[in-house]
Amino acid sequence: MYPAPFRYHRPASLEAAIGLLGKFGDEASIMAGGQSLIPMMKLRMGDACEVIDIGRLPDLSFVEIRDGMLCIGALSTHASIAASEAAARIPLVQEAGGGIADRQIRSMGTIGGGLSVADPSGCWPTSLRTLKTSVQVRGPAGARSIAIADFIQDSYVTTLQPGELVTEIRIPLPAANTGSAYVAFKRTAAAYPTVSCGMELVMDGQTCTSASIVLGAAGPMAVLCAAAEQALVGREVTETSLGEAAELIVAASDPPADARGSAAFKRAMLKTLVLEAGRRSLARSRGEQVKGGHRYA
């Protein structure tokens, strides 16, 4: 299968890219690594007329600590994030990058692309939603910063305005005694997650002072549940309290039944993933080295 004809543009600068985006409007498709766009084009599911290849734009591929934040250039590949020492400061980020699809896809796919596609089963939308991530975008009107909660508006829909593109992801470095994890259930590496869960716990001794839990592929958008987080905050994190949190958030989810599994199975798997993400987060909050990785069929 092959893409339909399109015109190819490779702007030399961010400004030029923004200019092209403005010029072509609806007709434009941004390609970073192409790992989401090219398969859709091959299946002729899209209508891309003007492909703007931003893959080589300078200065957008970095993973570094700056001003107390983990800063990731939009063109950083999943593989480079997984291998980054800076990203290791937030295990969830490293785990998300290292668990996307397979090695080949991780070589080419970028965080900016993965986030902008806003696929409800995508790893970046779910994992980054767990943290206080901000998305830096640039457009004809200049730069702005969007909180991750506002960035994704719906399945496959972001708040990016015409002519805008993502330039950087910023995540505040975690306080001491914080642990995070992202774990998905996937049938195979190259298949999309059936369901996934991101979690971050901040501990004070035995007591949880802050919790963030997000479910992926569990509805049209990332699923959050304040009650579930409250089930952990101010309490000891145990199998029991995690189980309660899992019950609450899974009750708030609405995973669709499809070829990946029935809704009942997905709910059950989500509960298991919440527990697993909780165990890993707790251990990491204590400075323990915990092996990451997804569950596979």
Partner 1 sequence: MEMKFDGNFEVGIPRAETFALLSDPNKFMPVLPMYHSMAAKESEPNTSIVKLKIGIGKVHGIATTEIALQDNQAPEKASYVGKGNVMGGAYNMVVGFNLEDAANGGTRINWHGTTQIYGRILSIAGGGLSGIAEKEITRVIGSLQDALASREHFEAVVRQAQAAPAAEGLIARVARFFRELFGSAPAPAAPAAAADATDTAPARTEPLRKDPSRGVIAPLGSSIQVDSDGSKQWTGQRLRRKEDERLVRGLGRYVDDYVGGHIAHVGYVTSPYAHAKILAIDVSAAEALPGVICTLTGKQVAAQTTAFMQIGAEPSANLKDYGIAQDKVVYPGEPVVLIVAETARLVEDAVQLVTVDYEPLPVVLKSEDAATDAVILHPEVGTNVSFAGVWDHGDVDKAFAEAAHVFDIGRLHFHRFASTPIETSGAVATWSPRGEVEIVCNNGLPGVTVQMLAAFLNVSTEQIRMKSEDVGGNFGTKTVNHTYIALAAVASRAIGGRTVKWVETRTENLACFHGGERTFLDTKVALDADGVITAIRSRHLDDAGGLLRYEPLGCSIWSQVYPATYRLRNMHIEFSQVMSNKAPCTPNRGYSRMQHIWFMERVIDICAHELGLPADEMRAKNYIRADEMPYTTPNGNIYDSGDYGMMLDKAKELIGWDEWQRKQTEARAEGRLLGIGIGSTVDSGTNNFGQVLYVNPHQVFSGNTEACRIKIGLDGSIVVTLGSSPQGQGHETTTAMVIADDLNLPPDMITVRTGFDSSWNTYSGLSGTIASQFAVTGLSAAHGAALKLKAELLRLAAHTLQAAEDQLEIGVGAMGPEVRVVAEPERAINFWMLSNLANANISNVPESLRDINLNVMDVYKPPFEPVDVEKKIGNQTLTYAPQIHIAVVEVDRTTCQPKILDYAVVDDCGVAVNPKIVAGQVHGATCHGIGAAMQEAFQFDESGSLITATFTDYAPITAINMPPLKTAATSTPSPFSFNGAKGCGEGGGGPLHCISAAVQDALHSEGVIVTESHNSPSILMEALRAPNRAQVVARA
Partner 2 sequence: MRDATSRVVVDVTVNGLSYQREIEPRLLLVEFLREELGLTGTHIGCDTSYCGACTVLLNGKVVKSCTVLAVQADGNRVETVEGLESDGKLHPLQSTFSELHGLQCGYCTPGMLMAAKSLLDGNPSPSEDQIRKGIAGNTCRCTGYVNIVKAIDAAAQQMREE
User: Which helix H or strand E contains 218, and what residues bound it?
Assistant: none
Residue 104 contact partner, candidates partner 2, partner 1, none, CB within 5 to 8 A by sort of partner: partner 2
Pick the binder of partner 1 from 70, 96, 117, 135 (CB under 8 A): 117
| Residue nearer to partner 2 on the CB measure, 129 or 294 | 294
CB 47 within 8 A of CB 29: no
Pick the binder of partner 2 from 18, 34, 72, 164 (CB under 8 A): 34
Contacts (CB under 8 A) with partner 1, residues 48-107: 49
Specify the residue for token string 């893409």.
Answer: 3
In the chain, the amino acid numbered 233 is: V
Binding window for partner 1 (CB under 8 A); candidates: 69-77, 202-210, 268-276, 278-286: 268-276
- Whole-angstrom distance, CA of residue 78 vs CA of residue 81: 5
CA-angle at 132, arms to 101 and 92, nearest 5°: 35
User: Which helix H or strand E contains 18, and what residues bound it?
Assistant: helix 14-24
CA proximity to 218, closest of 129, 93, 88: 129
Q: What are phi and psi of 121, to 5 degrees?
A: -100, 5
| Binding of residue 192 to partner 1 (CB under 8 A) | yes
Pick the binder of partner 1 from 209, 230, 241, 272 (CB under 8 A): 272
Minimum distance from residue 21 beta carbon to partner 1 (Å): 12
Residue 154 contact partner, candidates partner 2, partner 1, none, CB within 5 to 8 A by sort of partner: partner 1
Encoding tokens for residue 8?
A: 């190819």
Strand partners, 201: 179, 211
Minimum distance from residue 223 beta carbon to partner 1 (Å): 13
Q: What are phi and psi of 69, to 5 degrees?
A: -130, 150
| Residue nearer to partner 2 on the CB measure, 20 or 93 | 20
Pick the binder of partner 2 from 101, 118, 228, 245 (CB under 8 A): 101
The footprint of partner 2 (CB under 8 A) covers: 1-10, 31, 34-35, 38-39, 41-43, 51, 53, 55, 79, 101-105, 107-108, 188-191
